[in-house]
Homo-oligomer: A and B are copies of this chain.
Amino acid sequence: MLTGVIDMLTNRQLLVLKVIIDDFIETAQPVGSRHIAKKDQVSYSPATIRNEMADLEDLGYLEKTHSSSGRIPSEKGYRYYVDHIMSPLQLSKNEVNQIRYSFSNRMMELERVMQNSAHILSELTRYTTIVLGPQVYETKLKQIQIVPLNNQSAIAILVTDKGHVEHRSFAIPGDLDQSDLEKTVNILNEKLAGVPIVYLSQLIETEVKYLLEKYTNDYQKSYELLNQAFFTEQPTNLYVGGKSNILAQPEFTNVERVRALFNIMENEEDIAPLLKATDEGLHIFIGHENKIEAMNKCTLMTATYSLGDNQYGTVALLGPTRMDYAKAVSILDLWSTQMSQSLQKWFNEQ
């Protein structure tokens, strides 16, 4: 369990640090020497514990809330705990099943899966969950459809090879020829199917424009239509679940602090870059390791999941620095493995 002497810490210091952090994670109360000495795992007197605690404080792993209070872990303490002490928690049968089951579902659509995952993960962890859909550099256009609703309006539907559906309704430019509409769609499908969607607008400009000019009666109208229907900013597909779990944490009884956090989470522009920037694998950002001020009392734990083709999505848990790291790691790990497996089964078995 305890991996012996690491850094400069003795085994006993490791033990004390672990017990304190475990206890604080559970109770959110400063931990005193007497309290520790009473635990089964510990066979020293309060006085001895006090000495060790004083040393751990000098080393920066513990803090006091006031001069005669018990100790709480510092951010450095959590960092050490996460890096060297904790071992992933064995998840309960029930927790494993819930995650597994959420992927066994026959309906398998990125949007729904992500939305659902955000929900389930937040239920299991009681933290806020953020799921960022995969980056779409490699996603290719599968098909374009245009469905006219009436004389004036129609819906353009883009389907990508990853099953993402984007739709947009638009006004049909006054008295556009019906056959021109059809021709336009045909030209689009012919030229654009299989094209990575990041190149879409570029290709419309270079290739499609010219074809439209040649084959449709009213080139100007068709082009106008295209612009209306397809110049859509890339949507960041972000799914947040269990936002209000934050309110249950004792460290967030201060409404102002909660407000600051909510503001961040309600702005995709604030939160998306945080997840996009993370490297592959599981990462933990403790307290001030988060650049955003409102998250200084929070831990953000991120993990990536893979669609193959070097395409990654990110999932994150946001909780207090006093997060149940062992459990969170296990859950995030299991989820991202399952997610990756499911996605690859769906999209890459040719």
Chain B proximity mask over A123-154: 1 for CB below 8 Å, otherwise 0: 00000000000000000001101010111110
A8 adjacent to chain B (CB < 8 Å):
no
Which A-B residue pairs are the 10 nearest by beta carbons? A244-B262, A165-B167, A109-B169, A247-B259, A147-B159, A163-B169, A143-B147, A253-B255, A145-B145, A247-B255
Report B-chain residues with C-beta under 8 Å of the C-beta of A106. 170-171, 228
Give the complex CA separation of A248 and B145 in angstroms.
45
Copies of this chain present: 2
* Bound complex: CA A157 to CA B163 (Å): 11
**Per-residue B-contact encoding for A267-288, CB less than 8 Å = 1, 0 else:** 0000000000000000000000
Main secondary structure of the interface of A (DSSP, over half): mixed
Per-residue B-contact encoding for A161-181, CB less than 8 Å = 1, 0 else: 111010111110000000000
Interface size class on chain A is 35 or more
With an 8 A cutoff between CB atoms, is A200 at the interface? no
Asked whether any CB of chain B lies closer than 8 Å to the CB of A108, the reply is yes
Interface string of A213-249 (1 = CB under 8 A from B): 0000000000000001000000000000001100110
Task: Indicate if A263 sits at the interface (CB-CB under 8 A).
Answer: yes
- In the assembled complex, the CB of A107 is this many whole angstroms from the nearest CB of chain B, namely 7
Asked if A37 lies at the interface with its beta carbon under 8 angstroms from chain B, I say no
If A252-B255, A259-B248 touch, whether A149 touches B161 (CB-CB below 8 Å) is yes
With both chains docked as a complex, state the minimum distance between the C-beta of A236 and any C-beta of chain B, in angstroms. 14
Q: Indicate whether A155 reaches chain B with its CB closer than 8 angstroms.
A: yes
A165 to B106, CA, bound (A): 21
- Chain B CB within 10 Å, residue with most, of A142, A155, A243: A155
Instruction: Among B150, B163, B252, B266, point to the contact of A153 (Cβ < 8 A).
Output: B163
Would you mind naming 20 contact pairs between A and B with Cβ atoms under 8 Å apart? A106-B228, A108-B153, A109-B167, A145-B147, A149-B347, A150-B161, A150-B347, A150-B350, A152-B346, A155-B159, A157-B159, A157-B165, A163-B169, A243-B262, A244-B259, A244-B262, A247-B255, A247-B259, A252-B255, A258-B258
Given contacts A109-B167, A167-B109, contact A346 B153 (CB under 8 A): yes
Q: Give, as a whole number of angstroms, the nearest-CB distance from A101 to chain B.
A: 17
